[in-house]
Amino acid sequence: MKAFVIQLLSIIFVVLITGSIQSVTADHSEPDQGIFKNEQTLQELEATKNSNYQIYLQTVLRNGDGQLISVIEGTHGLVIPHQISDHVFDTLMGKKEIVTIDDIKYEKVQYTFSPTLKQRWMGIYPIFDEIHIEYVVEGDALVQMKEDIMDHYRWVIHYCAIFKGHEYTCIPVFQSFTVIELVTHTDTVTHQWTILRVQN
């Protein structure tokens, strides 16, 4: 636990040093306009079934020798009901194609991501990282990270930046839920995100 607190203090220190970086607009002073409800809380996330987005996530888990352990698919997710979701979809996820499903046209993108052991341990999966932060894991935390079997069921695409009126924050732009996966430190996880957005 001490090592975790030291890590957090290190991150805060880095953020204070880099405080002059231009912030992203996420004003919470205008009701229902910003990403944040107030200084600490995000707006309520929206289930994809109620939004213009559909999320499909395939998670492939392999052991340290590359042998397949499992393939799990999830079709339920959450999205931030804000223009930042469109920004991530439009500019950070790669090439789009147009598909038609049940007479509805969608823009479709596929994004592949393999989180590192440190990212899985911290639960941060950045597609964008305004400030590069090196996570240093030492001592008891390093031992625990390499001994524990972690259970994962919520996978996220984070957008990490300084938001106006807030410190450096990683917000969960897209999230998907799957059955619980038990992952060891030698396992590799590969995400294949397929995200559809209703074409305007």
In the block, tokens 């989180």 appear at 115
Rounded distance between C-alpha atoms, residue 27 and residue 164, angstroms: 6
- Does the pLDDT value for residue 45 go beyond 80? no
Which residues, in sequence order, are CB contacts of 7 under 8 Å at separation 6+?
135, 136, 137, 141
- Does the pLDDT value for residue 108 go beyond 90? yes
Asked if residue 190 lies in contact with residue 59, where contact means CB atoms within 8 angstroms, the answer is: yes
What is the mean predicted confidence (pLDDT) over 59-88?
Answer: 90
CA 31 to chain centre: 25
- Does the pLDDT value for residue 100 go beyond 50? yes
pLDDT value, residue 39: 60
CA 189 to chain centre: 14
pLDDT value, residue 20: 32
What is the mean predicted confidence (pLDDT) over 13-18?
Answer: 38
**pLDDT confidence bin for 29, thresholds 50/70/90:** very low
Structural domain total, the chain: 1
Domain region containing 22 = 2-198
**pLDDT confidence bin for 11, thresholds 50/70/90:** very low
pLDDT value, residue 63: 92
pLDDT-wise least confident of 12-26, 94-108, 122-136: 12-26
**pLDDT confidence bin for 12, thresholds 50/70/90:** very low
The whole-model pTM stands at 0.73
Q: Which residue has the higher pLDDT, 164 or 21?
A: 164
- CB neighbour class for 48 (10 Å; exposed up to 12, middle 13-18, buried from 19): buried
